[in-house]
Amino acid sequence: MDIAHIPTPLGTAKIEGDENGLSKITVLDGEETITDVIPETLEDAVYQLQEYFKGERQEFSLTLNPEGTDFQKRVWKALKRIPYGKTASYMELSKLVGDVKAIRAVAAANGKNPLWIVIPCHRIIGSDGSLTGYAGGLHRKKWLLEHEQPVKQQSLF
């Protein structure tokens, strides 16, 4: 398994994968040594994440290989259908998965998403529009949702 640590506006991202695809992307709170030489298998992921943070990429075209149950993978696939700049509720995500009664299981699978940003679990909000739990912290979720908004608030000063 190849690993790279890259800086992002939200902390150091740890990227893991191999020739079969990306298996995990997480954001870390602690100080990590930034990878000097990115493994070839992770170069495209690093490049696309950097484009995303610069506001130059809205969709990822990467080979993904996350570990999870079949149900979790169905939920993660449904998450990828939520467009950049949009949000959905857990109920809407349950409908995308095809089982509105599985809302708790869908929420749990959302929380187990191993591919930060690339599988956009940050786009899931409460039915009332509130920010709900996020493994990376609500401050990061808020930042990501604001980053994806088409109109940026300009400073007057």
Identify the pLDDT of residue 86.
95
Residues 71-120 have pLDDT tens digits of 999 999 999 999 999 999 999 999 999 998 999 999 999 999 999 999 99
The residues with which 86 forms a beta bridge, in sequence order, are none
Residues 128-154 have pLDDT tens digits of 888 887 878 899 999 999 999 976 555
Identify the pLDDT of residue 104.
93
Q: Hey, what CATH class is 2-53 in?
A: alpha beta
Distance CA(143)–CA(72), nearest Å, equals: 25
For residue 85, what is the DSSP state? T
Residues 2-45 have pLDDT tens digits of 999 999 999 999 999 999 999 999 999 877 899 999 999 999 99
Identify the pLDDT of residue 133.
77
Give yes or no for a contact between 87 and 125, defined as CB atoms under 8 angstroms apart: yes
Show the beta-strand stretches assigned E in the chain. 2-8, 11-18, 21-28, 88-89, 124-125
Which residues are catalytic, by number?
121
Identify the pLDDT of residue 137.
85
The closest of 114, 103, 107 to 133, measured between CA atoms, is: 107
**CATH 3.30.160 residue spans of the chain:** 2-53
Q: Hey, what CATH class is 70-147 in?
A: mainly alpha
**CATH 1.10.10.10 residue spans of the chain:** 70-147
Give yes or no for a contact between 1 and 20, defined as CB atoms under 8 angstroms apart: no
For residue 99, the SS3 value is coil
Q: What is the dihedral of CA 39, 82, 136, 149, to 10 degrees?
A: 100
The closest of 26, 46, 50, 30 to 136, measured between CA atoms, is: 26
Distance CA(111)–CA(18), nearest Å, equals: 23
Distance CA(87)–CA(68), nearest Å, equals: 23
Identify the pLDDT of residue 122.
95
Average pLDDT, the chain: 92
Residue 157 has pLDDT above 60, yes or no: no
